Amino acid sequence: MQALGISNADSSQRYKAASYQRVLELTIEQGGMAVAAELLERLAFSYLVGNDDHHLKNISFLYDPVFKLTPCYDVLASSLYRSAMDAPMALPMLTNGEPEYYRTMGNGYYSGSDFVELGTKSGLFERAVQNRIHTLVRKTEKAAPSVIQASYMPDDVKQDYQNLVEHRVQLMLALLQDFSSLPFLTKRER
């Protein structure tokens, strides 16, 4: 995170030094909206697949030849091995408090609208964020069962993992607008 001016020399600060909103704002400043939108999509994906350990040291950038995200790494289903009382993400979502749905519902889970709120408060365009999140959730919903079943996890863990992903997919879709009538989505993405 030194690339964005956030000090993470002290590894104990990797969960406290910034919010995802601040990281996205700085990413827009350094790399532009496309890089920030990709990072937001990665954060949403981490949530969908139970990677609640997406902290500052798991967000990296390259400057060669332009500012961009590095390939993903350390994306694990850590939620399977934590208490349900633990935070669903490693960093605070917003700089000043939690997103509206998360704060209002108090159920310990984020929804699609929380990620849209994160994106828009960071400076991304709402419609573009909605489109990316919706497409990501639908692709994850479609691909996850076969990927999980093909894994080497024990069968009982596979079922727990499938349940976790299904639950988060439903939460992410429940509060996203119905995009089926919007012209910017192809039929394949609906």
> pTM of the predicted model, to two decimals?
0.86
Give the model's pLDDT for residue 47: 95
Give the model's pLDDT for residue 186: 41
Question: What is the distance between the alpha carbons of residues 130 and 115, in angstroms, rounded to a whole number?
Answer: 9
Which residue would you say has higher pLDDT here, 105 or 169?
Answer: 169
Q: Give burial (CB, 10 Å; 0-12/13-18/19+) of 60.
A: middle
Neighbours of 8 (CB within 10 A): 17
Which residue would you say has higher pLDDT here, 110 or 55?
Answer: 110
Which residue would you say has higher pLDDT here, 149 or 190?
Answer: 149
Give the residue from 123, 141, 101 showing the smallest Cα distance to 29. Answer: 123
| Average predicted confidence (pLDDT) for the chain | 86
**Domains observed in the chain:** 2-189 (1.10.1070)
Neighbours of 96 (CB within 10 A): 8
**Amino acid, res. 77:** A
Most confidently predicted of 7-11, 124-128, 178-182: 124-128
Q: Is the dihedral of CA 55, 57, 143, 81 positive or negative?
A: negative
- Does the pLDDT value for residue 132 go beyond 90? yes
